Amino acid sequence: MAKKILLKDIAEEVGVSIALVSYVLNNKKTDKINPNTSKKILETARKKKYVPNRIAQSLKASKTFTIGLIVADISNFFYSYIARHIEEEANRYNYNVLYGSAYEDPERFRKILQVMLSRQVDGLILAIPDGAEDCIPELKRMKLPFVVIDRQFPQYKNYMRVSLDNYNASRKVMEMFISKGACRPGAIGLKTNLSHLQERKQGFTETARKFLPANSIFSYEVNESRMETEMAELVKKAVLQDRVDALCFFTNKIAMAGLPHLLKHKIKIPERLQVICFDETNAYNLFPYPLVYVKQPLEEMSKLAVRCLIDENQKAKTGVYKFDGELISL
């Protein structure tokens, strides 16, 4: 590293104190500074390409202008899209984003969280994995602002969260299935305790029960870690054995794993099988049959999450936001 230009260097060159340089560059005390001195300082700073050391500033101010973002997996479209909008909104407030992927591993999550705390982030946006939810009371005790996205943990109250209204979204899914004549609807979810996925399942099943007998409603679950291998069997069971005539994939990852098998079995969509997927991705455009998907307003949700941390007006509010999913037909 070449020597960096410090306030000291500018001060020496101009022949004034470091403090004065700082005042000028920060536009403080402007009324009491000799315009000539001011001009000289400004010029020298530009000439030497002075870049303030944010680390020193952060230490002094006890504020880093950094938001920590922990997602499950940044290479998952769902989270990378969120990350994009979080960064955009954060930038608007001159904040930056430090990010980490926990891969649904609570231990990893805790470790990343610890690192973010040690780096003095001003706030956190978290997709908490199953088993790491005890960070919620802990963070509250520390009074560090945080927002939980995507997920929620009903055992804890009074924490900020931004998520889809999952129950209602699933209800809409089922209602569309029914309205188009489904008699044996099914859904594929994840083996997990995460309540947002439980809610999707509940909304789906409970709505179905209003219209159909219990033995013609189907529900399947795959292991997050063995999705690729289990999916082949599961789709076969659902479509060929249980003969479901409507199938919902509860996450985009499940959809991406499941849809190819529908292709393989040459299932006619939507005549033989209606399909609805959660989450939006342009990958669906490569699928040769009409798909329906649940669009989450990710951009708004992401931006709101950032504002919950940064914006004083927003902060004041209660901080529990549920967004409506929208069914989009391709």
Distance, in Å, from the CA atom of 128 to the CA atom of 117, rounded to the nearest integer, reads: 16
Q: Which does 202 bind (CB under 5 to 8 A by kind): a copy of itself, DNA, none?
A: none
- 56 binds DNA per the rule CB under 7 A: yes
Between 95 and 284, CB nearer to DNA: 95
Q: Which does 104 bind (CB under 5 to 8 A by kind): DNA, a copy of itself, none?
A: none
Q: In the bound complex, what is the minimum distance in angstroms from residue 315's beta carbon to a copy of itself?
A: 13
Q: In the bound complex, what is the minimum distance in angstroms from residue 50's beta carbon to a copy of itself?
A: 10
Q: Which does 48 bind (CB under 5 to 8 A by kind): DNA, a copy of itself, none?
A: none
Q: Which does 183 bind (CB under 5 to 8 A by kind): DNA, a copy of itself, none?
A: none
Q: In the bound complex, what is the minimum distance in angstroms from residue 11's beta carbon to DNA?
A: 7
Between 34 and 193, CB nearer to DNA: 34
Query: What is the torsion angle, in degrees rounded to the nearest 10, for the CA atoms of residue 186, residue 187, residue 192 and residue 198?
Result: -90
- 60 binds DNA per the rule CB under 7 A: yes
Strand 185-190 and strand 218-222: the pairing is parallel
Question: Whose CA is closest to 301, among 196, 192, 199?
Answer: 196
Q: In the bound complex, what is the minimum distance in angstroms from residue 67's beta carbon to DNA?
A: 20
34-42, 80-88, 179-187, 223-231 -> range binding DNA (CB under 7 A): 34-42
Bridge partners (DSSP) listed for residue 147? 125, 160
Between 145 and 185, CB nearer to a copy of itself: 145
Do the Cβ atoms of 222 and 254 come closer than 8 Å?
yes
Q: 104 φ, ψ to 5°?
A: 60, 15
Q: What residue ranges bind a copy of itself (CB under 8 A)?
A: 1-2, 51-56, 58-59, 64, 66, 73-77, 80-81, 83-84, 87-88, 91, 96-101, 114-115, 117-120, 141-144, 256, 259-260, 263, 281-288
Q: In the bound complex, what is the minimum distance in angstroms from residue 93's beta carbon to DNA?
A: 18
Do the Cβ atoms of 259 and 273 come closer than 8 Å?
no
Distance, in Å, from the CA atom of 131 to the CA atom of 48, rounded to the nearest integer, reads: 52
Between 62 and 215, CB nearer to DNA: 62
Q: In the bound complex, what is the minimum distance in angstroms from residue 54's beta carbon to a copy of itself?
A: 5
Distance (Å) of CA 284 to CA 174, 275, 326: 20, 12, 16
Q: In the bound complex, what is the minimum distance in angstroms from residue 49's beta carbon to a copy of itself?
A: 9
Between 120 and 192, CB nearer to DNA: 120
Show contacts of 211-220: CB within 8 Å, 24+ apart: 211/174, 211/178, 212/178, 212/183, 212/185, 216/183, 216/184, 216/185, 217/184, 217/185, 217/186, 218/184, 218/185, 218/186, 218/187, 218/242, 218/244, 219/186, 219/187, 219/189, 220/186, 220/187, 220/188, 220/189
Q: Which does 25 bind (CB under 5 to 8 A by kind): a copy of itself, DNA, none?
A: DNA
Between 78 and 321, CB nearer to a copy of itself: 78
Q: Contacts with DNA in 4-33 (CB under 7 A)?
A: 4, 6-8, 15-20, 22-23, 25-26, 28-29, 31-33
Do the Cβ atoms of 10 and 41 come closer than 8 Å?
yes
How many residues at the interface with DNA, by CB under 7 A?
32
Residue numbers at the binding site for DNA (CB under 7 A):
4, 6-8, 15-20, 22-23, 25-26, 28-29, 31-35, 37-38, 50, 52-53, 56-57, 59-62
